[in-house]
Amino acid sequence: MSNAEFKSGLVAAIPSLRAFAVSLTGKPDRADDLVQETMMKAWAAQASFEPGSNLKAWLYTILRNEFYSYYRKRKREVEDADGKIAASVGTQPEQDSHMNFGDMQAALLRLPGDQREALLLVTASDLSYEEAAEICGVAIGTIKSRVNRARARLAELLDTKDAAEFSVAPTIAAALAAKV
Amino acid sequence: MNFPNDSKKKRLGQAASGAYVEDAVGERLRSFYTEITDQKVPQHLLDLLDALDNASSAQTPPSVKK
């Protein structure tokens, strides 16, 4: 695969990678940083990509590894026991039109991390169970189980939680990020 | 963002079938994703790829350039 082809593949994957990153982090700024790091890692590892294999799945694997690597490091560095960081970034949605987006974002962040990523990969990113299992390094049955539990929990959250509660999404995101 | 199934979902209520609820969740999740994927790609990401490509080209001897 030429540099031009590889670059074209990366450009085409950016929107999906950003959506996955926003869903994982709950923070658009952090998501773009994550995508940028993924691009750089992917470019550096270009020789290890097998032409003909699934570039999108390969990029998702890199992004996921970067995400967990970042939060493992952050967990060691950040203590937010009194919630000061979370409180500092808490904001209210500026417009009602953003409420549904915030609802989903907040609900996703309430799912356990392993369930959230499985649901995002299979349901939103259109990857197969097999591809999701390979990305997450678990058995296909585990992915199916996580997706089912995540969908059930997400349905519950979206049906039972009102908009006012979901409007604190950034605070939840910050609190979760500090604990991951 | 509108979710077309919301009104239908309210009509069906919580007694809706599990399959329907899963479909509704999937639909809302994909709408959420679409809202992000439809956004313009940040220019700095495109610039980054250009820079990486240029750097690679500069390091590759002309005879083996792809």
pLDDT tens sequence across A111-170: 999 999 999 999 988 899 999 999 999 999 999 999 999 999 998 988 754 433 443 344
Instruction: Give me the pLDDT at residue A89, please.
Output: 37
A142 vs B24, residue with greater confidence: A142
DSSP H helical ranges for A120-179 = 129-136, 140-160, 163-166, 169-179
Contact across the interface for B32 and A14, Cβ inside 8 Å: no
Chain B residues with CB-CB distance to A158 below 8 A: 25, 28
Mean pLDDT for chain B overall: 70
Task: Note the pLDDT tens digit of each residue in A50-64.
Answer: 988 899 999 999 999
pLDDT, residue B51, reads 93
Q: What is the pLDDT of residue A121?
A: 94
Q: Does A154 touch chain B (CB under 8 A)?
A: yes
- Cβ atoms within 10 A of the Cβ of B51, count? 12
Top-confidence range, A75-79, A88-92, A95-99, B12-16: A75-79
Confidence of residue B63 (pLDDT cuts 50, 70, 90): low
A53 φψ region: left (φ > 0), alpha (ψ -120 to 50), beta (else): beta
Distance from CA of B31 to the nearest CA of A (A): 9
ipTM above 0.85, yes or no: no
Distance from B19 to chain A by nearest Cα, in Å? 10
Mean pLDDT of all residues in A73-87: 53
Query: Are B30 and A4 a contacting pair at CB < 8 A?
Result: no
User: How many CB pairs below 8 Å do chains A and B form together?
Assistant: 85
* Cβ contacts of A133 within 8 Å, gap of 6 or more: A139, A140, A142, A143
Q: Is the pLDDT of residue A71 over 70?
A: yes
Q: Residue A119: its pLDDT value, please?
A: 94
Q: Percent of chain A having pLDDT more than 90? A: 53
Mean pLDDT of A38-57: 93
Is B49's pLDDT higher than 90? yes
SS3 A64: helix
Chain A, nearest residue to B25 by Cα = A155
Give the pLDDT score at A76.
Answer: 63
Residue environment code for B52-65, b if the CB has 16+ CB neighbours within 10 A, otherwise e: bbeebeeeeeeeee
- CA-nearest residue to B48 within chain A is A36
Rounded to a whole number of angstroms, the distance from the CA of B2 to the nearest CA of chain A is: 8
Report CB contact under 8 Å: A19, B45.
no
Is the CA virtual torsion B22, A54, A16, A153 positive or negative?
positive
Q: How far apart are alpha carbons A39 and A63 in whole angstroms? A: 9
